[in-house]
Structure 1
Amino acid sequence: MICIGHRGASGYAPENTLAAFKLAVTMHCPWIELDVYAVEGELLVIHDDTLERTTNGHGRVMQTSLATLRSLDAGNGQQIPTLSEVIEQIDHRAGINIELKGEHTALPVNRLLNDYLSRGWQADEFMLSSFDHEELKLGEPAFERGVLFDRASKDYFKTTAALGAYSLNVSMRLVKPALVEEAHRRGLKVFVYTVNEADDIQRMRDFGVDGIFCNYPDRVG
């Protein structure tokens, strides 16, 4: 069972910042997860569609200028990073799971990642995921797709099949051994969010899930 650093090592450093991603890599996390919005042609790494929770700004991400967003404090003096900045910092030391958060993110992400492929990066160093399955459908087929669900659905496997998904990414409260077994039978990986406590980490291991999104990568042996 692998650890995917949820917004980096976000239990120890401000989420979705270069500090959090650097720490996750230092903790030998094989993958990190982040969230992107496309703003004025730039891909910014931030989770919420509003600014108040994670920055000293106010209002909506998509209604704020790029210059203003880049001037904000995202915690401990950290800036909201661009996706390019994160990729350059990771520098092949971990895989990057890119969650498409805002509308119209898939195509600019495709363009950026294809540029990195042309510079020697490998497609298997990246993964795309989203709750917005229509946006995820636009993701470049070269990159594995993780289909996110936050509620029980009878269409888990219909959706993953339609998207040619690599993984089923589900909330911990939805995970049952039977779901994991069926996903594996269909050739899917199962990645579970957000799993931070020792007993939950062990339970997911016992269930046979393939990976967990965790804010504390050092807790996952």
Structure 2
Amino acid sequence: MKVFAHRGASGNYPENTEIAINSALDVGVDGIEVDLQSCLDDYVIIHDSWLDRTTSGQGKVNATPFSAIQQVDAGQGQKVPGLQDVINWVGNKTLLNLELKHTFSLDKLVSTLEHNVAQGRLNREQLIVSSFDHHQLLWLKQNLPWVKIGALTSSIPLGYAEFAQRLNAYSLHLDKNFVNHQFVADAKARGLEVYAYTVDKDEDILTMQALGVDGVFTNYPRHTKQLLAQQRDAQEGTA
């Protein structure tokens, strides 16, 4: 089961920052997940639509220029990264999952991703773009056909994973509280990877594994990897 660092190793470091991302890379995670949204004139890596929860700043992200956001403290002296920063840090070291939050025009995203692929900084196979906004995912897939998209949901739709298949998604990203055998089996039958969020408790991690989930997003990637390794060693010891 893959381990994705949710906003980096955000259980121990300020979320969506360089220190959180590098700590997760040091652990050897299978993927890094960060939140992407639009500020006034660029893309930034931050979860909330307001600056005040995770930074020393005030105001709405989409009304603030990138230069001003760069001046605020995102915790422990960290800056709010831009999209290019994260691409430079993660590169092709592991999977990079960009979750679209409050994003607007995606034309610049398409050109930025294509430029980084052309420059060799980013491997197409190492990128997933996910969102709860399925309209944006559809537009992105139509305008950047090679991109792997992850369809997010915090529900169990009547058609299970049908909506993700219709989007031509690569993966289905499920709230751990809505994961069951039927949902996972339906997604697998449609050729989708199944990832669950946000999974930190030992019991939940092992439950996701038992349900056949392909990966989990966790705030504590080091602990999660250690738990799964212990579980694997125990199973091999009884084989």
CA contact (8 A) 1:30 1:93 kept: no
Q: Distance in 2 between matches of 1:153 and 1:111?
A: 33
In the TM superposition, what is the alpha-carbon distance from 1:137 to its structure 2 partner?
1.2
Matches within 5 A, 1:135-154: 135-139=136-140, 140-154=144-158
Question: Could you tell me which residue of structure 1 aligns to residue 207 of structure 2?
Answer: 203
CA contact (8 A) 1:105 1:135 kept: no
Matches within 5 A, 1:47-196: 47-104=47-104, 106-120=106-120, 121-139=122-140, 140-196=144-200
Amino acid paired to 1:19: I
2:26 equivalent to 1:22:
no
Q: Distance in 2 between matches of 1:208 and 1:39?
A: 38
How many residue pairs are counted as aligned between the two chains? 221
TM-score normalised per structure 2: 0.88
SS in 2 for 1:138: helix
CA contact (8 A) 2:161 2:183 kept: no
Match of 2:219 among 211, 215, 221: 215
**1:45 to 1:177, Cα distance in 2 relative to 1, 3 A:** same
What is the identity percentage for the equivalent residue pairs of Structure 1 and Structure 2?
35
Q: Distance in 1 between matches of 2:37 and 2:159?
A: 27
Superposed CA deviations along residues 56-108 of structure 1, whole A, max 9, x for unmatched, are 11221112222221111001110000111111111321111001112325332
Give unmatched runs, 5+ long, in structure 1. none
Question: Could you tell me which residue of structure 1 aligns to residue 46 of structure 2?
Answer: 46
SS in 2 for 1:71: coil
CA contact (8 A) 2:41 2:66 kept: no
CA contact (8 A) 1:198 1:219 kept: no
Higher gyration radius (CA): 2
In the TM superposition, what is the alpha-carbon distance from 1:118 to its structure 2 partner?
0.5
Q: Distance in 1 between matches of 2:73 and 2:20?
A: 14
Give unmatched runs, 5+ long, in structure 2. 226-239
TM-score normalised per structure 1: 0.95
SS in 2 for 1:72: coil
**1:91 to 1:51, Cα distance in 2 relative to 1, 3 A:** same
Q: Distance in 1 between matches of 2:23 and 2:160?
A: 34
2:6 equivalent to 1:6:
yes
User: Segments of 4+ in structure 1 off by > 3 A?
Assistant: none
CA contact (8 A) 1:50 1:60 kept: yes
In the TM superposition, what is the alpha-carbon distance from 1:161 to its structure 2 partner?
2.1
Q: Distance in 2 between matches of 1:128 and 1:106?
A: 12
Q: Distance in 2 between matches of 1:52 and 1:23?
A: 24
Answer with 121-130 or 39-48: which moved more: 39-48
CA contact (8 A) 2:39 2:63 kept: no
Q: Distance in 2 between matches of 1:156 and 1:48?
A: 28
CA contact (8 A) 1:37 1:105 kept: no
Amino acid paired to 1:18: E
Q: Distance in 2 between matches of 1:84 and 1:213?
A: 22
Q: Distance in 1 between matches of 2:151 and 2:101?
A: 13
